Amino acid sequence: MADDPFAVAIVYNINAGFRFMRNASDIIRTVSRHTLAYMLFSMSELFRHYEDFDPLDLLIVHAVLNANVIHVMNDPVLDEKFSSIHAVEPDVIKQGVSRAALSRFLSLPLETVRRRVTGLKRRKILEETKAGLIVTEQNAFRFGNNHELQKTNMLLLTKLLRDLKRAGINGPDDLRASKETASARKAK
């Protein structure tokens, strides 16, 4: 058992005491199952709410949204400033993204991205700026400011965290051993 890096035992605490021992590969599989379920439920809700949209268009819109505000999420001051459910990042602070970057990020052909972006611009969801594409704060479909989806996401995230806790994963420290074990395995 000591020779196998994946047999490294991890003891973790749940609520009122210690639970059983698990190895790193069990943790990786558990986290993968639960996070995949979270992503699929989230996508299902997104598709259900925006049923008049092609799923690929929704994927592009949300990839642009993410690129637009990634710098906000990485800046504690801006992140706090726009943390309210009623606060929307104004277009002037959004970081644009190119079609080529979207193509690479989503692993889609550039021509597909170009064609889809043209349609989304026509629907006044995306706008071209000097810095690249942004999802406009005034888009008629409330992308980036849909309170119903934000509340649903909170329910799904709560379920994910509860499920991970039940599986013995209370936070990032519980994942550290799986990273260390994977690093040890690569080194051999």
Residue 41 lies in a domain: yes
Domain enclosing residue 26, as ranges = 1-51+169-188
Q: Are residues 60 and 124 in the same domain?
A: yes
Q: Are residues 70 and 42 in the same domain?
A: no
- Residues forming a β-bridge with 128: 133
Residue 65 lies in a domain: yes
45 φ/ψ angles, rounded to the nearest 5 degrees: -65, -40
Structural domain total, the chain: 2
Q: Are residues 7 and 71 in the same domain?
A: no
Q: Are residues 70 and 12 in the same domain?
A: no
How much is the pLDDT for 19? 44
**How is residue 50 written in tokens?**
């925006």
How much is the pLDDT for 34? 96
Q: Are residues 133 and 75 in the same domain?
A: yes
Q: Are residues 45 and 62 in the same domain?
A: no
Q: Are residues 72 and 132 in the same domain?
A: yes
Residue 112 lies in a domain: yes
**How is residue 91 written in tokens?**
């277009």
Q: Are residues 80 and 121 in the same domain?
A: yes
Residue 61 lies in a domain: yes
How much is the pLDDT for 22? 60
Residue 127 lies in a domain: yes
The whole-angstrom separation of Cα 130 and Cα 108 is 23
Q: Are residues 34 and 105 in the same domain?
A: no
Q: Are residues 77 and 127 in the same domain?
A: yes
Of the candidates 96, 115, 138, the one whose C-alpha atom is nearest the C-alpha of residue 56 is 115
Residue 20 lies in a domain: yes
Q: Are residues 47 and 74 in the same domain?
A: no
Residue 108 lies in a domain: yes
pLDDT by residue for the chain (188 residues), tens digit each?
344 433 333 333 444 443 443 677 888 999 999 999 999 999 999 999 999 999 999 999 999 999 999 999 999 999 999 998 888 899 999 999 999 999 999 999 999 999 999 999 999 999 999 999 999 999 999 999 999 999 999 999 999 999 999 998 998 888 875 555 555 556 66
H or E segment to which residue 14 belongs: strand 9-14
Q: Are residues 81 and 133 in the same domain?
A: yes
Of the candidates 29, 25, 19, the one whose C-alpha atom is nearest the C-alpha of residue 5 is 25
